[in-house]
Structure 1
Amino acid sequence: MVRQSSDTLASCLSASSIASAPLKTILCGEHAVVYGYPALVTAIDLRVRVLSEPLPVGIIEVLSEGFGSWREYALNVAKLVEKRRLKHPLQYPIVAVYLTSRYIGEEPGSRVVVKSPAPDGSGLGTSAAVAAACICATAIRYGFNLTPPMIANLVQLCERFVHETPSGIDGTAVTYGGTFVYKRDEGPEFIDAKPLRLVVAFTGIKHRTADLVRRVRRLRAKNREYVDTIMAAIGEIAQEAARAAVQGDLSLLGEQLHANHLLLRQLGVSSKELDRLVETALNAGSYGAKLTGAGGGGCIIALVDEDVQYRVLASLQNVSASTWLVVTNAQGVHREDISEQ
């Protein structure tokens, strides 16, 4: 952790700061990663932006489009955090501001304004991106430059207050960016993947990852051999997809995406809404499409190139709640120039 000079610090304490963090998508490997198989993950150029401003010591305030605002005394936040009783739509930025302030040894006194392109529960790592951007912006305003491992650890700590046992995928993606293969207990292996164009389409249905993980666990308890065979196949797909991403082989990668989706359907985590979006994308010329994230709702991703991207985008806009055309390999969390905002 590097602290700025006293002169710079004095100006930082009275000034505002802005940081942004990317959303992420799992290209292949959902659910199988819980059981030790690899997942292929990438950061995308949809970014959460957070403005941090000073408030009197002891006050934390969060403003967010779509979720309103919350103003609370830091002492009360501390009690709720310690007892894990902070249940609020704005819990991630609240916890992030509080934990960051305590980590760097400053008394909390901050207002953060959060702007996110996608809602929580969409399967794109929104919560982790909000936490990372809040951590970075808060630390910078106090005059601290946190290293990526410090930010990742704080994001993981924030997620534990909500998910209890987060995988670490989201925190890695939003902090470091890029594309990587992730295995539980081994962490990320970053790969030199070519930037990909994806159309992301949101069903409009939010999901809770923990609920879907429990659903798969119950299925595995009833038919372990069946589920383990699917998991192993998904793990092989993730590895093959990683090789295709490095080579820039869109045809092969698209095949792996669709194959992964079909296996996730067998696990019971897809839905008629997700399947409809996947079918729409394929019919419009996508190389391959699948649900991304835990399933049960959330988003799909469709692999495209410049020739078909707008046709696929337009087709999905007709049948989805929200759509985005994105590029992978996005940069991780970082400070932004406030003069450009």
Structure 2
Amino acid sequence: MIDLRTETLQAFAAVYGTEAASLWSAPGRVNLIGEHTDYNDGYVFPFAIDRRTFAALAARTDGVARVASSFAAEAAEIPLADLAPERLSGWSAYPLGVAWALREVTAGRAEEIGFDLFIHSDVPVGAGLSSSAAIESAVAVALDDLWDAGLDRRTLARVGQLAENRAVGAPTGIMDQSASLLGEQDAGVFLDCRTLDAEVIPLGFEAADLVLLVMDTHVSHSHATGGYSARRASCEAGAQALGVEALRDVTLADLPRARDLLDDETFRRVRHVVTENERVLDAVRTLRERGPLAIGDLLDASHRSMRDDFEISTPELDLAVETALNAGALGARMTGGGFGGAAIALTPSDHVSRVSHAVDTAFAEHGYASPTIFPVRASAGAHREA
């Protein structure tokens, strides 16, 4: 069987008529817990997964950037000197946005060389597994090397976020890129989104014989559309009304005052973020002190908060979570930005078949499209492959 590395290199040669000079990859991510806390300066706890995006690269001598991929028919070409967010659109805004953002962050210090780039991936699109950050991170490490920029991983995460915010137009935080760039095997990335301090925390799933199942509902979502932006605006309004820089600064003890000050919808948005930050801290503490078998209740509480307070779940996600729990999962929650995508279920390995079959059956009985269910393992972050 030809693997993704070989497929990427072969496709590069077919498109550009020459061999790639280097091959890079970066993983998608699952957010174990900590949803919509990142842009509120809070805490998140994602991990990189064993689904990856590959980027094959070769230098050009004419100052032009060309990008192509296995998932879009059209290629894109633009002189580096013309890179600007308003000139980028479609799928190519992700890789070309990274090139623009890297130029911005280095303020011309990097040696800029034109390039041919081909992207290939097995990170599912639209499942809440951050296929976008996988593209951004793979391209970021590739161009950092090509241009001899010398940026550290945390700065490259900011490059990816800047690309997504400005070139793509999605108001996301920095969690996804941080997980894709900093991940390690069987470990999560505990990230403080205010300071960008990151700590790698062992998960212990392998020793505990646990599997994290991803249940992709195939309900599509888009971060660049209204639901995500509206939630972010509610959080900003809540912080302003409470007189704090960000909801990170609001504690559980502040919630009674928040209830008095805010309308019901804004209060519930705020309550989700405040309690979710606490759940992230509790999850990290629990993993350290008691191990992964003890975090299930926190995952369940996170889903209820996203369903009821932040209102970003869907009937399909709720069904996947409820069914997985009833079939033996230790904990389950939707993951990602919401309004579709995937749920995750922390499952003993000997229950995986039972949980998968139960969710499949439940979706069929409700008339929903068949979900795609697969296990993921915590994986290494972005790196050079060849």
TM tier, shorter chain?
Answer: 0.7 to 0.9
With CA pairs under 8 Å and 6+ residues apart, which has the higher RCO, 1 or 2?
A: 1
Helix, strand or coil at the partner of 2:23: strand
Query: Structure 1 97/122 Cα, relative in aligned 2: closer, same or farther at 3 Å?
Result: same
Aligned positions of 1:203-222 closer than 5 A? 203-209=217-223, 211-216=226-231, 217-218=233-234, 222=263
Q: Which of these residues, 8, 21, 35, is aligned with residue 16 of structure 1?
A: 21
Query: Structure 1 249/139 Cα, relative in aligned 2: closer, same or farther at 3 Å?
Result: closer
Aligned positions of 1:101-120 closer than 5 A? 104-108=110-114, 110-120=115-125
Whole-Å separation in 2 of the counterparts to 1:98 and 1:236: 36
**Does structure 2 conserve the Cα–Cα contact (< 8 Å) formed by 1:74 and 1:98?**
no
Whole-Å separation in 2 of the counterparts to 1:160 and 1:103: 23
**Does structure 2 conserve the Cα–Cα contact (< 8 Å) formed by 1:282 and 1:288?**
yes
Q: Which of these residues, 302, 309, 327, is aligned with residue 345 of structure 2?
A: 302
Helix, strand or coil at the partner of 2:349: coil
Give the match for residue 9 of structure 1.
none
C-alpha displacement of 1:326: 0.8
C-alpha displacement of 1:282: 1.7
Query: Structure 1 245/208 Cα, relative in aligned 2: closer, same or farther at 3 Å?
Result: farther
CA RMSD in angstroms, aligned pairs only? 2.9
Give the match for residue 40 of structure 1.
45
**Does structure 1 conserve the Cα–Cα contact (< 8 Å) formed by 2:71 and 2:120?**
no
Query: Structure 1 191/72 Cα, relative in aligned 2: closer, same or farther at 3 Å?
Result: closer
Whole-Å separation in 1 of the counterparts to 2:151 and 2:193: 25
Aligned positions of 1:20-31 closer than 5 A? 20-31=25-36
Letter in 1 for 2:177: G
**Does structure 2 conserve the Cα–Cα contact (< 8 Å) formed by 1:62 and 1:69?**
no
**Does structure 2 conserve the Cα–Cα contact (< 8 Å) formed by 1:286 and 1:304?**
yes
Whole-Å separation in 2 of the counterparts to 1:45 and 1:194: 15
Give the match for residue 329 of structure 2.
286
Aligned positions of 1:62-211 closer than 5 A? 62-74=67-79, 78-79=81-82, 81-97=83-99, 104-108=110-114, 110-140=115-145, 146-161=151-166, 162-163=168-169, 165-178=171-184, 179-196=188-205, 197-209=211-223, 211=226
Whole-Å separation in 2 of the counterparts to 1:238 and 1:148: 23
Give the match for residue 317 of structure 2.
274
C-alpha displacement of 1:296: 0.4
Whole-Å separation in 1 of the counterparts to 2:296 and 2:66: 44
Query: Structure 1 22/208 Cα, relative in aligned 2: closer, same or farther at 3 Å?
Result: same
Give the match for residue 10 of structure 2.
none
Whole-Å separation in 2 of the counterparts to 1:274 and 1:71: 36
The percent identity for this pair of structures is: 27
Residue segments in structure 1 that go unaligned for 5+ positions in a row: 1-12
1:325 pairs with 2:375: yes
**Does structure 1 conserve the Cα–Cα contact (< 8 Å) formed by 2:42 and 2:193?**
yes
Letter in 2 for 1:94: L
Deviation by residue 1:98-154 (Cα, 9 ceiling, x = unmatched): 55577632231x222212223444322221111111222344456776542443242
Whole-Å separation in 1 of the counterparts to 2:145 and 2:98: 14
Residue segments in structure 2 that go unaligned for 5+ positions in a row: 1-17, 206-210, 239-261, 364-369
C-alpha displacement of 1:54: 4.1
Give the match for residue 246 of structure 1.
288
Q: How many residues are aligned here?
A: 320
C-alpha displacement of 1:37: 3.7
Whole-Å separation in 1 of the counterparts to 2:280 and 2:155: 28
TM-score scaled by length of structure 1: 0.82
Letter in 1 for 2:196: G
C-alpha displacement of 1:215: 3.4
TM-score scaled by length of structure 2: 0.73
**Does structure 2 conserve the Cα–Cα contact (< 8 Å) formed by 1:269 and 1:295?**
yes
Letter in 2 for 1:177: G
C-alpha displacement of 1:274: 0.9
Give the match for residue 208 of structure 2.
none
Helix, strand or coil at the partner of 2:324: helix
Query: Structure 1 232/138 Cα, relative in aligned 2: closer, same or farther at 3 Å?
Result: closer
C-alpha displacement of 1:268: 1.0
Identify which range, 298-307 or 178-187, moves more after superposition: 178-187
C-alpha displacement of 1:83: 4.9
Deviation by residue 1:252-304 (Cα, 9 ceiling, x = unmatched): 21111011101110121100111122123223321111110111001111112
Query: Structure 1 226/153 Cα, relative in aligned 2: closer, same or farther at 3 Å?
Result: closer
Whole-Å separation in 2 of the counterparts to 1:141 and 1:14: 16
